Each structure stands twice: as C-alpha cells, then as structure tokens.
C-alpha cells in the first residue's frame, strides 16, 4: 500500500491533498496506519527515559499523527461535501475507532504523568506565551478527557465515547436518508404556482435526477422552514411540505437522541459535572450554565412578544384569503406578502442583481481587499475533490502568498445541507504549513448556460462562510492545535458573523449588486427597504433560533440518572412550553429528528453559541463603523489582534484588544429589536 496518497505529505503546492489520486479504498488503510503510527509516537513520548520537557512531550505530541491528520481532513471533507454510500459506511465504522483512539492517547497514564509534571512547573519553564498556553490547554484537554479517573471510570468512559461516536454517525446518516425520503413530489407544474421559475426548473431537475421524470420534487433543506413556503399559493401543498420537513427523522433519530443525551449526562457525571451542558460550557467563553441560561432567558420574552406582533399582522393578511387560523405553513407566505406591501420589496426581484460570480469577486473578495488588502487568483489547474469545487490562491497585501481558498458553492444530492467551512491543511509555523480552507454552500445549480442568481440570504451566507475562511487564512500561530478556527465553540461564529457586515456596506454593495444582464446597479432604496423589512422579521427569526437553542439546552441539562426521555416529540413540546418559547406558528429552526448540529456535529449544548457570538459581532460591527479609523486600518487591527491569533490567546482577551474595552450586549438588543 505504499501508493496510498496519505502515507506521505502531499507534494502539491500548499500540501493540497492530491485529490486526483485519492480513491475511496485509500481511506480505511490510511486511518488504520495513521492511528497506529500516532499510538507508536505517543508510546515513544511516554517511554522517553529523559525527564519530561516541553519539547520532548508537548511539542512532540503536537507533531504526532501526521498521517491521521491528512486522512481525517480529506475524509470528513468528502463525507460532508461529496459523500457516497461507501464513505457513509466507513464513517459509521471509523467514528467509534477514532473515539477509541482519542481515548487511547488521552488516557495513557505515563503520558499524562509527564504532562502533569510539566504543568505543575509551567511558570518555571521559561515558555513564551503561546507555548505556555499550549501546555495549559493540553493539560486541560487531558483532564477533561478523563485522565484523572480511576481504572473503572476510564473503562466506562471508553465505552460511552465509543457508543456516542457510533450513535453520532448513525444520526448523521439517518438525517441524510430521512431528508431524501421526505422530499415532496407533485405531478404538475401548476401545483407549484407562485414559485419562481428557477425553483420550478430546479424541482423538475430534482425529479429527473431521482428517475421521477414528469414530476416535480421539492427536496428538503436541512432546517425546518423550507424556502418554497414563502411562495407556494397552494396551502395544502405548503402544509405537506412543512409537515415532511418537521417530521423527518423523528422515528429513527428521536430514540437515538434520547439515548445520546442520557449517555452524555452519564459521562458528565463521571467527569464531575452535574450535566453535559455544565461540562461543555466550563471550557467555553460562557463558563457556566447559569450565564447561558440567563442570556437566553433574557431574550425569550421580548422575542416572543415581537413574534406575536408579527403573527397578528400576518393573521390579518391571511384572513383576507379566508384563512381563519394562521398556521406554521402560512407564516412565510404571508410574511412575504406583508413585506412586499409594507416595505415594497419583492425578494425574488433581487436575484438578478446577485449573480454568484459577481457577488464572489466584486463583493466577497472585494471586501477582503478593502479591509485587508487581499488579492485572489483562480488556479484552475489545481484539482479539488469535485468538479464544482474551485481553487483560488490568496495573496497578502505585500504580494506574498497566504494560502488556498476552495469554493464549492452548489447543492448536490451527495452534499449535506447547509453551509460550512472546512480546513484541509491547518496553518502552523511548527509544521511549516500554510492554510488550505474550503467553503461549502448549497446554491441550486442553474440550468446549463444560465447564471446562478442568489437570494438575499444566500448572499449573506457567502459572506458569512468567507468570514470563517478568513479566520483560517489569516492564522499566524506556531502550533497546529491553535490554527485558525481552533477557538471556543461559542466564539467561532463571531468572525464569520462580522464578515456579513460587508454585504450591505454601501461601497461594497455598489460594487457587486448589479443586474446580471443590464449591469444596472441595485437601487439603494430597495436595499434600505430590504433592511427595514429584515428588522420586521426579527421576531420570527429570533424565536425560531431560540427555540432550537433551548431545545438543545433542554436535552443537555438532563441530569445523569434521570428518567430516560421516552418520546422525543412529547419532550420537545414540554420543554419549549416551559421555556416560554412555544409559539404555535413558529417551529424551532431544527427539531430533534434532524438536529445534526447537536447530535452529530459537535455543537451539543452549543447551539446557544450563535447568539452568544452575535453579541461580540454586533459590538464589532459598531466598532468598525464608529472608531474613526480608515477601514483598512480597522481591518489590520482586527486581523492582528484577533483573526491571526486563532486559539493561541484567550478569546475574550483578543476582543478586548480590538475594542479597547469590555463588550456589552446593547448593540445586539438594538439589532434584534429586543430593547
């Protein structure tokens, strides 16, 4: 197997994985070899006859696992972006093995003894700030992983971790299958009355791809409220579509979620925390369950009041159509109508001004040039993992090469829903690597020869994900454990949310929002009305989000040994009611059956992080607009003090270094209409 491309470093520029050579059968042997190699490296560190030093222990650990790092990055990228049944099977098989491998490293008593001894003397070792932090973070990671437990405790911990890894992979697979199975087919285009033409064409294309020619298929996006609900005039079809969305995965993932929540609670208790949420937030910027609870609790009342005000308006509009009771499947449809009447904005009419290529180059890249001086060159000769994934080389203001950015913008059946950033190569001065980052979106593929025209929300998503990409690209750290987005979970959304501000900055908007045929700029009045209309919808958006965050919170504040949750649906209804966030016509953004964030993607007890990060985001956007510095200077400061630091410095210290003071919640309350 010496021809396995993962066994040696890539020889391509930036160590871009050699995708042209990678075949599915390479993954398993590379995982096996990668784990075996790292275990041998760890054993050698642990058995070193020399007394422990920072170099022979902490740095040696940091260097270990090169093959595993390479194969994991490529594999999990493919699993999310271009999966196959074989990849999914391997994911299900390999996830428990990886969890066991993680335990084998972190529960090695000889290794921990060396780390513990170093940690005790950490202030006498003459370490620089980043190295000291690495020692502290590694030590904390080992303790949190159970290094101090007795043998029985460690045995049970290993069992739980293996089971949870298997369950998480199963959850992911169930969601994917349930989403495909939940797609809604209709027999005539007439049934899709109200949908924009491009969406109708897309539904016909979906049907063809599924071998259901002659039908139209509405495939399910990963969140509750499907975008078609805003346009379909057929109320019964709207109900069918939303019901399919809300009920997917309940039968398979409902019981699985209950079991996972119980196992997580048991693990937390083993590690000395009252609940899984307490265990998670102890290592986040939030710190305590009380801090998160207080923050979410403070927002619920005003958000629900806003949503109810919106509901009354919508109900009045619906009554004109003879709808006596506004249902969840009516909300988006009448919101669209009220928005059009009150603010004179037709969201479908905006699309011709948001052509993907233009938004990307003249918007997203242009903003990165304004703020940071970056320049981008497409490198078509570099092969990514799918023909739709395009590779760009990124250059710094002084002309030096910074890294690679891969943009994979279109939806396909083999891709997970949603949008995200992946890192294929982390930046590290220790390893001599520069960053290679990927952005994934799910924009509907345009028909052949047609331009891809984006919705307002898709434009925002493009800017958002690019904010994560910048966090990876600007990383300037020594240790790979601190690269780019290796920051607390309740902090990682902050830089990406900040990057959204460029979407509507007048100088950026004027540069990219032009009609794709006529080149005519988007009327700034339309943008102002659109922003006003967005403010109007804040009640719905905030409640939908809070309901999902509180649902995650409820699952993960169950104490160990509590009566297991029998019925996920009943549990949801009860906890949302108790939290005061049960608004009948506003379902949570995710329900348990398809809440991948918290049951398979590492956001358990962490969905609160989006609004937690938004506090810092709202502050920083304010700061960018009001600090009196030129944009470029603000950008450089933000980059130097925050984006480039990754996890190498305390997150809130980075924020204080930018703002020059403590952040406050006020700008968020204003933005969300919650004062």
Q: Which residues bind Zn ion (CB under 5 A)?
A: 493, 496
Nearest CB to Zn ion, comparing residues 62 and 465: 465
d(CA 546, CA 540): 10
Nearest CB to Zn ion, comparing residues 463 and 479: 463
Nearest CB to Zn ion, comparing residues 175 and 496: 496
Least distance from C-beta 493 to Zn ion, angstroms? 5
Least distance from C-beta 491 to Zn ion, angstroms? 12
Q: Are 550 and 296 in contact (CB under 8 A)?
A: yes
Task: Measure the CA dihedral 29/31/35/38, to 10°.
Answer: 100
d(CA 157, CA 162): 9
d(CA 135, CA 473): 24
Question: Quick one: which of 2, 155, 129, 131 has its CA closest to 57?
Answer: 131
Least distance from C-beta 605 to Zn ion, angstroms? 18
d(CA 560, CA 564): 10
Of all residues in the shown chain, the one whose CB is closest to Zn ion is 496
Sheet with 401-410, edge to edge strand ranges: 375-378, 390-395, 401-410, 436-443, 420-425
Least distance from C-beta 419 to Zn ion, angstroms? 7
Instruction: Compute CA distances 262 → 266, 331, 509, 532, whole Å.
Output: 6, 35, 48, 44
Q: Tell me, yes or no, if 465 is annotated catalytic.
A: yes
Nearest CB to Zn ion, comparing residues 10 and 442: 442
3-state secondary structure labels for all residues of 342-400: HHCCCHHHHHHHCEHHHHHHHHHHHHHHHHHCCEEEECCCCCCCCCCCEEEEEECCCCC
Structure tokens at 162: 């293996």
Question: Quick one: which of 409, 364, 366 has its CA closest to 386?
Answer: 409
Structure tokens at 505: 């900055």
Nearest CB to Zn ion, comparing residues 202 and 496: 496
Q: Which residues contact 25 (CB under 8 A, 6 or more apart)?
A: none
Least distance from C-beta 603 to Zn ion, angstroms? 11
Least distance from C-beta 565 to Zn ion, angstroms? 29
Least distance from C-beta 302 to Zn ion, angstroms? 25
Nearest CB to Zn ion, comparing residues 217 and 470: 470
d(CA 508, CA 557): 43
Length of the chain: 675
Question: Quick one: which of 586, 594, 581, 585 has its CA closest to 550?
Answer: 581
194: alpha, beta or left, given left = phi > 0 and alpha = psi -120 to 50?
Answer: left
Beta bridge partners of 355: 453
- Dihedral sign, CA of 135, 139, 142, 148? positive
Q: Are 481 and 134 in contact (CB under 8 A)?
A: yes
Nearest CB to Zn ion, comparing residues 78 and 496: 496
Nearest CB to Zn ion, comparing residues 490 and 493: 493
Q: Are 360 and 462 in contact (CB under 8 A)?
A: yes
Least distance from C-beta 412 to Zn ion, angstroms? 21
Instruction: Compute CA distances 515 → 290, 349, 358, whole Å.
Output: 49, 10, 10
Nearest CB to Zn ion, comparing residues 273 and 464: 464
**Pick the catalytic residue: 465, 486, 500, 619?**
465
Least distance from C-beta 496 to Zn ion, angstroms? 4
Active site residues: 465
């Amino acid at each position: 197997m010496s021809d396995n491309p993962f066994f040696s470093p890539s020889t391509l520029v930036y160590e871009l994985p050699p995708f042209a050579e990678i075949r599915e059968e390479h993954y398993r042997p590379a995982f096996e070899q990668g784990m075996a190699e790292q275990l041998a490296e760890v054993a050698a560190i642990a058995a070193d006859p020399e007394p422990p030093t920072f170099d022979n222990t902490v740095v040696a650990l940091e260097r270990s696992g090169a093959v595993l790092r390479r194969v994991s990055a490529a594999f999990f990228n493919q699993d999310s972006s271009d999966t196959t049944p074989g990849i999914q099977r391997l994911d299900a098989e390999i996830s428990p093995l990886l969890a066991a491998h993680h335990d084998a490293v972190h529960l090695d008593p000889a290794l921990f003894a060396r780390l513990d001894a170093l940690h005790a003397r950490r202030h006498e070792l003459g370490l620089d700030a980043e190295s000291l932090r690495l020692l502290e973070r590694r030590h904390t990671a080992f303790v949190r992983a159970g290094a101090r437990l007795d043998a029985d405790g460690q045995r049970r911990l290993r069992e739980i971790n293996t089971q949870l890894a298997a369950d998480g992979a199963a959850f992911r697979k169930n969601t994917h299958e349930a989403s495909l199975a939940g797609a809604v087919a209709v027999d005539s285009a007439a049934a899709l009355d109200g949908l924009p033409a491009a969406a109708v064409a897309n539904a016909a294309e979906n049907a063809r791809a599924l071998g259901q020619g002659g039908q139209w298929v509405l495939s399910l996006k990963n969140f509750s409220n499907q975008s078609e609900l805003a346009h379909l005039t057929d109320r019964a079809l709207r109900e069918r579509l939303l019901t399919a969305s809300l009920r997917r995965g309940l039968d398979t993932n409902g019981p699985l979620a209950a079991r996972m929540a119980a196992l997580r609670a048991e693990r937390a208790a083993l590690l000395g925390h009252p609940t899984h949420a307490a265990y998670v937030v102890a290592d986040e910027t939030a710190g305590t369950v009380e801090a998160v609870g207080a923050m979410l609790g403070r927002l619920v009342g005003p958000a629900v009041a806003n949503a109810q005000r919106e509901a009354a308006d919508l109900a009045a509009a619906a009554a004109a159509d003879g709808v006596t009771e506004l249902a969840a499947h009516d909300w988006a449809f009448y919101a669209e109508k009220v928005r059009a009447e009150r603010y004179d904005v037709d969201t479908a009419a905006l699309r011709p001004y948001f052509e993907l290529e233009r938004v990307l180059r003249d918007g997203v890249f242009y903003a990165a040039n304004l703020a940071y001086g970056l320049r981008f060159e497409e490198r078509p000769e570099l092969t990514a993992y799918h023909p739709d994934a395009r590779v760009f080389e990124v250059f710094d203001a002084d002309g030096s090469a910074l890294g690679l950015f891969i943009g994979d913008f279109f939806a396909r059946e083999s891709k997970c829903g949603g949008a995200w950033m992946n890192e294929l190569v982390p930046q590290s001065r220790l390893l001599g690597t520069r960053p290679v980052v990927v952005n994934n979106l799910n924009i509907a593929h345009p028909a052949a020869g047609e331009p891809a025209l984006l919705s307002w929300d898709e434009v925002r998503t493009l800017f958002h994900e690019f904010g994560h990409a910048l966090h990876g690209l600007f990383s300037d750290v020594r240790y790979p454990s601190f690269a780019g987005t290796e920051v607390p979970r309740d902090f990682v959304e902050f830089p990406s949310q900040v990057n959204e501000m460029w979407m509507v900055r007048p100088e950026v908007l004027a540069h990219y929002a032009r009609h794709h045929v006529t080149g005519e700029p988007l009327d700034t009045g339309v943008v102002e009305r659109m922003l006003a209309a967005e403010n109007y919808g804040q009640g719905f958006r905030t409640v939908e989000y809070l309901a999902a965050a509180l649902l995650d919170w409820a699952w993960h504040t169950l104490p160990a040994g509590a009566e297991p949750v029998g019925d996920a649906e009943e549990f949801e209804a009860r906890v949302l009611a108790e939290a005061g966030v049960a608004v009948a016509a506003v379902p949570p953004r995710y329900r348990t059956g398809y809440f991948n964030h918290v049951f398979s993607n590492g956001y358990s007890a962490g969905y609160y992080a989006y609004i937690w990060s938004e506090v810092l985001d709202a502050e920083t956007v304010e700061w960018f607009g009001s600090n009196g510095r030129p944009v470029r200077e603000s950008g450089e400061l933000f980059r130097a003090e925050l984006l480039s630091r990754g996890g190498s410095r305390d997150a809130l210290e980075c924020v204080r270094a930018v703002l020059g003071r403590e952040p406050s919640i006020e700008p968020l309350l204003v933005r969300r209409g919650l004062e």
